């Protein structure tokens, strides 16, 4: 057989197979795919440090919207909706970083009629988008973007989390100045709960310095203080329930805050914590059926002699008072087990 006579047909067949394969590959690509991921907000990504205000508006459709807004002060981020109470610093900062690192995976529709299906109608138009706005010190708008539904599961998208974590998700986004929508990848919070954004700190000093806990401190002629816990010379506590109480006390976090002038503390129960550096921290506590309110004041023992020790104690007390003075912290009713206690609560 003359092999040369087969070369042309075989070459034609190979070329046809190559062409069909190329067509199949091209046809298999999504219509709106982009070749490489791109940063959604490149200008903002270059000037994150210029951010001085962050506003997050959670659209609730016909039910209105929930707004969370923060501003930068010399002491850190504070929350406008709570009279400039300190915010959870790492969460605000991570939110800004997450905005700056949003990556677009694929273009989606640019037709406004489909925005509602993707959860990208702005809250101002009774939509359910989450709108993120960032402004600079001069009020200039640095970023304005809307977060819509997740690609995989809307049920998972609305889960309430208290921090960002490390998991990246796919969701729909669009810039407020454009009708173009994108499937993006990144990590942004969907939590509209106040507690998630407040500074979780609760008034206290390091537990290793605690030497005594008392209740019933005199207020308006009340009963004399009763010692509940006392650290013994070997470092142990005088009651078996001390460790359990100390561990639970260390986990206390406010779920809301208010100026203390709004809460009536006239009938408050008092809990005093005395530390080995001479600082005494007094917590005034008033309880209700569903919540407990507390406020704090620190002082220095008059028995301390003037010198370095007293100066350090005064600095520690001043720091506590500067941070918590004027504020009432709301805790769940379950916090009564740590703040409204008697000697009987430490038995066993």
Expressed as residue numbers, the domain containing 62 is 37-192
Q: What is the pLDDT of residue 221?
A: 53
In a domain, 258, yes or no: yes
pTM above 0.85, yes or no: no
Q: Kindly state whether residues 93 and 180 are assigned to the same domain.
A: yes
Domain final position from 169, 192, 215 = 192
In a domain, 148, yes or no: yes
Residues facing residue 135 across a β-bridge:
53, 141
In a domain, 233, yes or no: yes
pLDDT in tens, 105-158: 899 999 999 999 999 999 999 999 999 999 999 999 999 999 999 986 544 444
Q: What is the pLDDT of residue 347?
A: 74
Contact between 65 and 59 under an 8 Å Cβ cutoff? The reply is yes
Domain final position from 148, 169, 192 = 192
Q: Kindly state whether residues 53 and 167 are assigned to the same domain.
A: yes
Tally of CB atoms within 10 A around 152: 11
* Of the candidates 66, 67, 88, 68, the residue with the CA atom closest to the CA atom of residue 77: 88
Q: Kindly state whether residues 126 and 217 are assigned to the same domain.
A: no
Contact between 242 and 348 under an 8 Å Cβ cutoff? The reply is no
Q: What is the pLDDT of residue 302?
A: 83
Q: Kindly state whether residues 111 and 228 are assigned to the same domain.
A: no
Q: Kindly state whether residues 153 and 273 are assigned to the same domain.
A: no
In a domain, 260, yes or no: yes
Contact between 284 and 294 under an 8 Å Cβ cutoff? The reply is yes
Q: Kindly state whether residues 241 and 340 are assigned to the same domain.
A: yes
In a domain, 332, yes or no: yes
Q: Kindly state whether residues 140 and 266 are assigned to the same domain.
A: no
Domain final position from 192, 216, 234 = 192
In a domain, 236, yes or no: yes
Q: Kindly state whether residues 50 and 183 are assigned to the same domain.
A: yes
In a domain, 300, yes or no: yes
| Tally of domains within the chain | 2
Name residues whose C-beta falls within 8 Å of residue 83's C-beta, 6 or more positions apart in sequence: 257, 258, 259
C-alpha–C-alpha distance, residues 229 and 241, integer Å: 9
C-alpha–C-alpha distance, residues 46 and 217, integer Å: 55
Q: Kindly state whether residues 122 and 269 are assigned to the same domain.
A: no
Strands 256-259 and 65-73: unpaired
Q: What is the pLDDT of residue 12?
A: 58
Q: Kindly state whether residues 64 and 163 are assigned to the same domain.
A: yes
Q: Kindly state whether residues 183 and 223 are assigned to the same domain.
A: no
In a domain, 4, yes or no: no
Q: Kindly state whether residues 99 and 131 are assigned to the same domain.
A: yes
For the chain, list the strands marked E by DSSP. 33-39, 53-59, 65-73, 76-79, 85-86, 103-107, 130-135, 141-150, 169-175, 182-186, 210-215, 226-230, 256-259, 269-275, 279-287, 291-300, 327-332
Provide DSSP, 117-162.
TTT-S-GGGT--PEEEEEE-TTS-EEEEEEEEEESS-HHHHT---S
C-alpha–C-alpha distance, residues 295 and 151, integer Å: 45
pLDDT in tens, 229-254: 999 999 999 998 899 999 999 999 99
| Ranges of residues in the chain whose predicted pLDDT is under 50 | 1, 6, 10, 20-36, 154-158, 160-163, 218
Radius of gyration of the chain (CA): 30
Q: In what order do the strands lie in the sheet with 291-300?
A: 226-230, 210-215, 269-275, 279-287, 291-300, 327-332, 256-259
């Amino acid at each position: 057989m003359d092999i040369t006579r087969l070369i042309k047909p075989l070459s034609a067949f190979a070329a046809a197979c190559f062409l069909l394969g190329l067509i199949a590959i091209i046809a298999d690509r999504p219509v709106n795919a982009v070749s490489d991921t791109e940063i959604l907000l490149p200008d903002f990504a270059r000037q994150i440090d210029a951010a001085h205000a962050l506003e997050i508006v959670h659209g609730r459709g016909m039910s209105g919207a929930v707004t969370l807004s923060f501003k930068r002060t010399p002491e850190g981020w504070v929350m406008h909706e709570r009279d400039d109470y300190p915010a959870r610093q790492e969460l605000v900062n991570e939110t800004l970083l997450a905005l700056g690192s949003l990556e677009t995976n694929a273009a989606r529709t640019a037709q406004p009629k489909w925005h509602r299906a993707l959860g990208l109608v702005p809250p101002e138009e009774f939509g359910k988008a989450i709108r993120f706005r960032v402004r600079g010190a001069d009020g200039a708008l640095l970023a304005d973007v809307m977060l819509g539904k997740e690609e995989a599961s809307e049920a998972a998208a609305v889960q309430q989390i208290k921090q960002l974590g490390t998991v990246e998700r796919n969701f729909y986004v669009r810039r407020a100045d454009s009708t173009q929508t994108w499937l993006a990848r990144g990590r942004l919070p969907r939590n509209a709960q106040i507690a998630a954004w407040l500074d979780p700190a609760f008034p206290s000093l390091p537990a290793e310095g605690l030497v005594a806990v008392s209740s019933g401190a005199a207020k308006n002629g009340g009963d004399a203080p009763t010692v509940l816990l006392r650290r013994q010379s070997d470092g142990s506590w005088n009651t078996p329930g001390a460790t359990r109480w100390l561990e639970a006390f260390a986990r206390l976090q406010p779920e809301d805050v208010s100026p203390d002038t709004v809460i009536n503390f006239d009938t408050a129960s008092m809990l005093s914590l005395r530390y080995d550096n001479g600082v005494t921290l007094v917590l005034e506590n008033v309880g209700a059926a569903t919540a407990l309110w507390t406020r704090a004041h620190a002082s220095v023992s008059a028995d301390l002699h003037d010198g370095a020790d007293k100066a350090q104690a005064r600095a520690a007390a001043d720091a506590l008072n500067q941070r918590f003075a004027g504020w009432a912290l709301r805790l769940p009713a379950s916090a009564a087990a740590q703040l409204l206690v008697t000697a009987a609560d430490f038995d066993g």
